[in-house]
Amino acid sequence: MIPGRVVEIENLSFYYGAQRVLNNLSCGFAGHSICAVTGPSGSGKSTLLTTINRLWEEVDGARVEGVVKVLLDNMEIDLHESKIRLAQLRRKVGMVFQIPNPLPMSIYKNLTLPLRMAGIKNRDQQRQRVERVLQDAFLWPEVKMRLQSDARLLSGGQQQRLCIARAMILEPEILLLDEPTSSLDEGAVSEIENLLLNLKERCSLIMVSHDLEQVARIADSSVELVAGSLV
């Protein structure tokens, strides 16, 4: 792996059934920066992201060829070779989706869900972590009085910041973002962009975006995908 990089992809091809989505692709993403993946719809940007946390395995009939290596805890891990547990990987490689996906439960429970699933059951610890990620996501002042209300009552932008907070609560080293602002209005977009810039210190961000202005505003580097190949 080239020094400074946290993800290294070599000769990656991806198939949904007989359809080829990624075509013998090689690239890498640097650590503690925002790396953008751009390109037209259907070019395989989101698919590329899901090869890094192996979320593609949730899709029936999907198949992958090639090498994906990630650097976690300063250890180089080959996702297709090593026996890293899926849960372990996904706790270290968080993901935020295009459409905010809070679960139908309270704000507080949404945030403690990853902790509970990871076996962190200490109530005080949970409370502290929730407050910290909400502070980090600039959401604390807005929701501290209503942590027990349904997360789906938040505005779109708030929901997305909640989802980012939820993804950050297990302190991942890599955060995958699949067009995190495309469903939001302008004001919410700039809030999220500020948030992402702040997160650079703590983890490496890989963001799919089709908004080239946004890429110019916040990304440190970018790669462009067209029809499953790098341009």
Partner 1 sequence: MINRSGSIFSGHTFLLLLTAGCGLLILAVLGFMVFLGRPLFTADFFNLFMSSVWAPDQHLFGILPFVCGTLAIVILSLLIAFPLSLGNAVLINLLLPQLPAKFLYRIVKLMTGIPTVIYGFVGISLLVPFLREWSASGSGMSLLSAALLLALLISPTMILVFVESFTAIPQPHLNAVAALGGNVRHKLIYTLLPGAKNGIMTGLLLAAGRALGDTMIALMVAGNATAMPESLFASVRTLTAHIALVMAADFDSTEFRTIFICGIILYLGTLILTLTLRVFNRNGSKADLERGLS
Q: Where are the alpha helices (DSSP H) in 53-122?
A: 86-92, 107-117
Q: Which CB sits closer to partner 1, 89 or 195?
A: 89
Residue 55 found at the interface with partner 1 (CB under 8 A): yes
Q: Which CB sits closer to partner 1, 47 or 215?
A: 47
User: According to CB under 8 A, which one of 163, 164, 177, 188 is a site residue for partner 1?
Assistant: 163
User: According to CB under 8 A, which one of 5, 45, 129, 166 is a site residue for partner 1?
Assistant: 166
Q: Which CB sits closer to partner 1, 103 or 212?
A: 103
Select the span of 31-39, 70-78, 85-93, 217-225 touching partner 1 (CB under 8 A). Answer: 85-93
Closest CA to 27 of 199, 222, 227: 222
**Smallest separation, CB 226 to partner 1 (Å):** 26
CA gap 11, 66 in Å, rounded? 5
Q: Is 24 exposed, middle or buried (0-12, 13-18, 19+ CB in 10 A)?
A: middle
Q: What is the DSSP string of 174-214?
A: EEEEESTTTTS-HHHHHHHHHHHHHHTTTSEEEEE-S-HHH
Query: Which two structure tokens, joined as six digits, stand for 71?
Result: 């650097």
CA gap 47, 104 in Å, rounded? 26
Residue 186 found at the interface with partner 1 (CB under 8 A): no
Residue 118 found at the interface with partner 1 (CB under 8 A): yes
When computed from its CA atoms, the radius of gyration of the chain, rounded to whole angstroms, is: 17
Closest CA to 91 of 10, 146, 171, 1: 171
Q: Which CB sits closer to partner 1, 151 or 215?
A: 151
Residue 129 found at the interface with partner 1 (CB under 8 A): no
Residue 193 found at the interface with partner 1 (CB under 8 A): no
Query: Which two structure tokens, joined as six digits, stand for 143?
Result: 């929701």
User: According to CB under 8 A, which one of 58, 73, 124, 213 is a site residue for partner 1?
Assistant: 58
DSSP three-state, residue 98: coil
Query: Which two structure tokens, joined as six digits, stand for 72?
Result: 């976690």
Residue 108 found at the interface with partner 1 (CB under 8 A): no
Residue 102 found at the interface with partner 1 (CB under 8 A): yes
Q: Which CB sits closer to partner 1, 103 or 216?
A: 103
**Smallest separation, CB 165 to partner 1 (Å):** 12
- Kindly list the residues in this chain that would bind partner 1 in the complex (CB under 8 A): 53, 55, 58, 60-61, 86-91, 94-95, 97, 99, 101-105, 113-114, 117-118, 150, 152-153, 163, 166-167, 170
